[in-house]
Amino acid sequence: MICFPNAKINIGLNITGKREDGYHNIETLLYPVRLTDILEIIPLPGKNSDMVRLINTGLKIDVDASANLCVRAWRELCHIRQLPPVEMHLHKIIPHGAGLGGGSSNAASVLMTLNEMFELNITSPELALIAGQIGSDCPFFIYNKPVFAKGRGDILEDAGIDLTGCRIVIVHPGKGINTAWAYSNIKSKKPSCSLIDLLQTDPLTWQDRVINDFESLVFDAFPVVKDIREKLIESGAFYSSMSGSGSAVYGLYSSKDDKVNLQDQFPGMFVWEGIL
């Protein structure tokens, strides 16, 4: 079975406090985008064997296969259901270390695909609980719709935000940001205005009001990320921001009809353009 795990962007990201479990409390809007990886899962001969094989093409994932989130998702499901051995072929397109949730999306897609393939009849809320054991962003991809995320990112509420028809450009400079580094260096603060209230205003007014708290930290350490955002704004984006803890930056444009065509402005970088 073949599926297409998609990326996400964060629209606004406030770090509101440090938790006792070591995580941070956040508030953010998670929005799905159509940039996808390609994932194929096929059963292998044998029954109830603790064996999974992962093949990675496209962008290389620089972790041991046993630590890959796809494999972790398979093992989490094996804890509650008997599964045959499987082979997974992941063709990676979504940049990693980008704040686009590619790894989390892959893991969620494994859970949903195995659930369908083997007729496990696990409900979406149950899958979301399993996904939460793998990563904070994983439950979002089970539902895969715009949501307001709180807590460590696992408390999801319908957002009522619809940007359908907007054009989006995503630029990744080629260097990822280590998430652990970003969170260990960020300072939490109480936002002056509720993010959810700001997001109810006209999107054309979001720039410089709907803020990603990681931007000041990352911009100082990696000025190229700030340069990307400035170029996207200059090109006509009504809103541009870094996604997650970086390093990908996106720009939102009002029209779906006219391509922005920014490849020449970002030589050697990953540039993707699509419609929300």
Secondary structure string (H, E, C) spanning 86-112: EEEEEEECCCCCCCCCHHHHHHHHHHH
Task: Dump pLDDT digits (tens) for 151-184.
Answer: 888 899 999 999 999 999 999 999 989 888 998 8
Inform me whether the pLDDT recorded for 257 exceeds 80: no
- Of the residues 129, 158, 187, which one is the last residue of a structural domain? 158
Average pLDDT value for residue range 238-260: 93
Average pLDDT, the chain: 93
Q: How many domains, the chain?
A: 2
**Are residues 199 and 115 part of one domain?**
no
Tell me which residue range forms the domain holding 251.
167-275
The proportion of the chain whose per-residue pLDDT surpasses 70, expressed as a percent, equals 98
**Beta-carbon contacts of residue 128 (< 8 Å; ≥ 6 apart):** 139, 142, 143, 156
**Are residues 146 and 28 part of one domain?**
yes
- The DSSP bridge pattern shows strands 147-150 and 86-92 to be unpaired
Task: Dump pLDDT digits (tens) for 56-115.
Answer: 999 998 888 778 999 999 999 999 998 999 999 999 999 999 999 999 999 999 999 999
**Are residues 65 and 130 part of one domain?**
yes
Average pLDDT value for residue range 220-226: 96
**Are residues 146 and 228 part of one domain?**
no
Average pLDDT value for residue range 43-64: 85
**Are residues 100 and 45 part of one domain?**
yes
Sign of the alpha-carbon torsion through 245, 111, 69, 87 = negative
Average pLDDT value for residue range 9-31: 89
DSSP three-state, residue 89: strand
Instruction: Check residue 264 and give its pLDDT.
Output: 93
Predicted confidence band of residue 256 (pLDDT cuts 50, 70, 90): confident
Q: What region, left, alpha or beta, does residue 90 occupy, with left being phi > 0 and alpha being psi -120 to 50 degrees? A: beta
**Are residues 84 and 39 part of one domain?**
yes
What strands lie across the sheet with 86-92, from one edge to the other? Answer: 2-3, 38-43, 86-92, 52-58
Inform me whether the pLDDT recorded for 47 exceeds 80: no
**Are residues 85 and 131 part of one domain?**
yes
Inform me whether the pLDDT recorded for 49 exceeds 70: no
Instruction: Check residue 228 and give its pLDDT.
Output: 98
Report how far residue 49's alpha carbon sits from residue 52's, in angstroms, rounded to the nearest whole number. 9
Instruction: Check residue 66 and give its pLDDT.
Output: 77
Instruction: Check residue 95 and give its pLDDT.
Output: 96
**Are residues 120 and 175 part of one domain?**
no
Residue that is written with structure tokens 């960020």 in the block:
186
Inform me whether the pLDDT recorded for 190 exceeds 90: no
Instruction: Please list the active-site residues.
Output: 8, 137
Inform me whether the pLDDT recorded for 220 exceeds 70: yes
Tell me, rounded to whole angstroms, the distance of Cα 77 from its chain centroid.
21
Instruction: Check residue 226 and give its pLDDT.
Output: 97
Average pLDDT value for residue range 121-149: 95
Q: Which residues pair with 91 in a beta bridge?
A: 38, 57
Inform me whether the pLDDT recorded for 143 exceeds 90: yes
Contact assessment for residue 14 and residue 73, using Cβ atoms and an 8 Å cutoff:
no
- Of the residues 131, 158, 185, which one is the last residue of a structural domain? 158
For the record, the structure tokens of 248 come out as 């990908």
> The CATH number of the domain where 211 resides is what?
3.30.70.890
